Structure 1
Amino acid sequence: MDVLNKALLPRRKFIAHLGTLACGPLLSSCEFNVEPVTIGLYVWPGYEPLPLARTLGWLDEKQVRLVETGSASDSLKLLAAGRIDGAYLTLDKVLRARENGIPLSVLLVCDISAGADMLLVRPEIKTLAGIKGRRIGVEDGALGALMLYEVLRVAGLGMGDIRPVSLPGDHHVDAWEHGDIDVAVTSEPAATRILAMGANRLFDSRRTPDLILDVLEVRTPLLDRAHADALHHLVATHLRALRHINTDPDDASYRMAQHLKLPHEQVMAAFRGLVLPGLNDNIRLLAASPPELLKSVKVICATLCQAGLLHRQANVDGLLRPEYLPEPETS
């Protein structure tokens, strides 16, 4: 992937240090007495760097505290209630939340799905048309509905042709095991466990490029001088742990296994179908001119509007905030 045009660096450094420059003449100290930034996350391989960093002792919990949730829906409820400051979410959910009045800004792209989100079926179902009349487990919210909309479009079916079963993501495995559903719109790590029970994959996110991305976002009012150090630490720590996954996958697998609820030998397989952008990739996605992520925003908005999940093209003012990224890596 491309490396940042270094002409962007001085501007980003300038923005990042504005707080320090501004408070110097006025205050004897720039310290702020603030609570840790709280970040919601549920179990998903692309979100795993921060829990891994916590086990490695790299996460300063005086600055950043993780709040474990059961699903994206749970994270969104906590955000809407003001009980957490940010979360890991798919970009489509961020866009819908902004439309619903929750001010959110993206600090980092943590993964791009290229096969990790999928439609799993019972062995007797051989084609997409075969899901007609079947019980389909899908999580409420944009991503599940978005994937299901794409599946139905390709299959030439409508919502009236299926029997949707609303299920939080962390209930998919149990529902499959107990025979409550015939089809699952699901993702890792649940997908690996359902596949191990004999399911077949009929459709996945390789067929929906630029549609499913996960991001780290925070409430926009949090982007102030008082929280600047914590937000820099948050982003840098995610990227540091990601490098550990890439450079020492054996150690990382053992450490991540319990949190992912997988045997350690299956952990790295759960990352298949995911592109995990590093620092230079994030600079290209968030800080290039224009930011490449805006292409995905347009694709996602168009699809959400067609599916009736979004009422208009998203307002992208303040959506992308790359100034909390570290300086670019040099090759």
Structure 2
Amino acid sequence: MSLSFLRGLLVATCFGMLAGQAQAATLSADLKPEAGTLKLGVQPWLGYGQWYVAEDQGLFEANGLNKVELINFNEDKDMNAALASGRIDAGNLATHTAMAMVAAGLPVKIVLLLDQSTSADALIADASVKTLADLKGKSVAYEEGTTSDILLHSALAKAGMSLADVKPVPMPASSAGSALLAGQVPAAVTYEPYLSAAARQGANIHTLYQGSDDAGLISDVLVVREDVLKQRPGQVLALLKSWDAAYTHFQAQPEQGRAIIAKGVGADVGELDSAFAGVQFYSLADNQRELQGSFVGDTWQHIIKAAGNAGILPQPIDPEQILDTRFVDTLK
């Protein structure tokens, strides 16, 4: 989503909304969730999978959230618009997308680090493209403004090229792999479960570049609107407890957890072994370490630089502008 579009949404739909850092009442670990439905935006991405586990295992209710509505989106721009307009309370986004939203003035905060992709985001190609250098002059399908966009820029930079050296073919990540299979493009950037689907159906499709080739670049976070942080801090705290309970359940029963997540993203669990291996989920304990350590240091700066080079983030964002760690800290 472009910066100008995000600003337009802010003016059109968020005029008069609270700005600046939300200041909820003093938090305590036993703060009770407020009444009402919490609307959470998701996409069919494995990294958001613990929400499906929480829903399936009744963990939202176990933590006092009587109603959590998981609302599915196919493209980042649609979820961004829903957050801007207040149609959803919270959303699962790529870190650089959250940065761009705050840079545009949208009142959201990051409250939880969800996952990092190592091989579950990738640039894939047919037999005509053997190396990154072979992309020169060729069409590449990818979703603009997303993790696919950043990964493509990273891959091209590694080969001494830029976006000007290829022919961009913008489309949803869910369609990019299909376009490659159909012979419409020789290369595409997408993520799981679409990568596994493309690999199964195309014998000559191979990986050119993936998240681990630029460690730390591709990660996802949970953002919450500032008015929700202020008015319903108990719901937010319960949401984080539910994620961690789901993570614990997943670690104890990985086969069941994988089956639940596969169903949630619309895939066959038997076809996602390599996909799950390419995603690292973060627990609350991981968050308490990372949000005071490397994630807000070198990794943060690396993402800012990559997003800036991709034209997604026009200005740097400091962690204190966007992070609200009170909820993670309260649950130590």
TM-score normalized by the length of structure 1: 0.84
Matched residues, number: 302
Give me the whole-angstrom Cα distance separating, in 2, the residues matched to 1:149 and 1:17.
Answer: 43
Could you give the per-residue CA deviations for residues 288-328 of structure 1, whole angstroms, max 9, x where no partner exists? 3x674343222111222233332221143352222223634
Give me the whole-angstrom Cα distance separating, in 2, the residues matched to 1:281 and 1:319.
Answer: 19
- Residue 67 in 1 paired to residue 71 in 2? yes
The answer on whether the counterparts of 1:205 and 1:212 sit within 8 Å (CA) in structure 2 is yes
Give me the whole-angstrom Cα distance separating, in 2, the residues matched to 1:130 and 1:43.
Answer: 31
Give me the whole-angstrom Cα distance separating, in 1, the residues matched to 2:119 and 2:41.
Answer: 24
- Residue 110 in 1 paired to residue 121 in 2? no
Paired residue type of 1:304: A
Quick check: 243-252 or 43-52, which moved more?
243-252
The equivalent of 2:7 in structure 1 is none
Distance 1:323 1:194, change over 3 A: same
Distance 1:185 1:230, change over 3 A: same
The equivalent of 1:228 in structure 2 is 233
Query: For 1:236-255, what aligned pairs fall within 5 Å after superposition?
Result: 236-255=241-260
Paired residue type of 1:256: I
The equivalent of 1:7 in structure 2 is none
The answer on whether the counterparts of 1:63 and 1:230 sit within 8 Å (CA) in structure 2 is no
Query: For 1:78-227, what aligned pairs fall within 5 Å after superposition?
Result: 78-196=82-200, 197-198=202-203, 199-224=205-230, 226-227=231-232
Quick check: 126-135 or 258-267, which moved more?
258-267
The answer on whether the counterparts of 2:120 and 2:278 sit within 8 Å (CA) in structure 1 is yes
Quick check: 209-218 or 85-94, which moved more?
209-218
Return the offset for 1:159.
2.2
- Residue 285 in 1 paired to residue 278 in 2? no
The equivalent of 1:55 in structure 2 is 56
The root-mean-square deviation of aligned C-alpha atoms, in Å, is 2.3
> How many percent of aligned residue pairs carry the same amino acid?
25
Give me the whole-angstrom Cα distance separating, in 1, the residues matched to 2:221 and 2:296.
Answer: 11
Distance 1:142 1:263, change over 3 A: closer
Distance 1:239 1:268, change over 3 A: farther
- In structure 2, the gaps of 5 or more residues are 1-24
Paired residue type of 1:249: P
Give me the whole-angstrom Cα distance separating, in 2, the residues matched to 1:238 and 1:19.
Answer: 16
The answer on whether the counterparts of 1:119 and 1:186 sit within 8 Å (CA) in structure 2 is yes
Give me the whole-angstrom Cα distance separating, in 1, the residues matched to 2:147 and 2:257.
Answer: 28
Distance 1:253 1:305, change over 3 A: closer
Distance 1:110 1:55, change over 3 A: same
Could you give the per-residue CA deviations for residues 256-306 of structure 1, whole angstroms, max 9, x where no partner exists? 2322222222334322222212121110122x3x67434322211122223
Could you give the per-residue CA deviations for residues 16-64 of structure 1, whole angstroms, max 9, x where no partner exists? 13997xxxxxxxxx985x5322110101111011122112222236343
The answer on whether the counterparts of 2:33 and 2:237 sit within 8 Å (CA) in structure 1 is no
Give me the whole-angstrom Cα distance separating, in 2, the residues matched to 1:129 and 1:308.
Answer: 22
Give me the whole-angstrom Cα distance separating, in 2, the residues matched to 1:130 and 1:241.
Answer: 43
Quick check: which has more Rg, 1 or 2? 1
Give me the whole-angstrom Cα distance separating, in 1, the residues matched to 2:29 and 2:52.
Answer: 30
Return the offset for 1:76.
1.1
Give me the whole-angstrom Cα distance separating, in 2, the residues matched to 1:137 and 1:119.
Answer: 9
SS in 2 for 1:118: strand
SS in 2 for 1:275: strand
Could you give the per-residue CA deviations for residues 179-235 of structure 1, whole angstroms, max 9, x where no partner exists? 2221111111111111112210011111212211111111122212x4122111111
- In structure 1, the gaps of 5 or more residues are 1-13, 21-29
Give me the whole-angstrom Cα distance separating, in 1, the residues matched to 2:295 and 2:164.
Answer: 37
Could you give the per-residue CA deviations for residues 122-161 of structure 1, whole angstroms, max 9, x where no partner exists? 0231111111222211001142221111111112223232
Distance 1:18 1:216, change over 3 A: closer
Give me the whole-angstrom Cα distance separating, in 2, the residues matched to 1:242 and 1:150.
Answer: 30
SS in 2 for 1:141: coil
Give me the whole-angstrom Cα distance separating, in 2, the residues matched to 1:41 and 1:31.
Answer: 21
The answer on whether the counterparts of 2:33 and 2:238 sit within 8 Å (CA) in structure 1 is no
Give me the whole-angstrom Cα distance separating, in 1, the residues matched to 2:71 and 2:127.
Answer: 37
SS in 2 for 1:310: coil
Give me the whole-angstrom Cα distance separating, in 1, the residues matched to 2:30 and 2:271.
Answer: 45
Quick check: 302-311 or 207-216, which moved more?
302-311
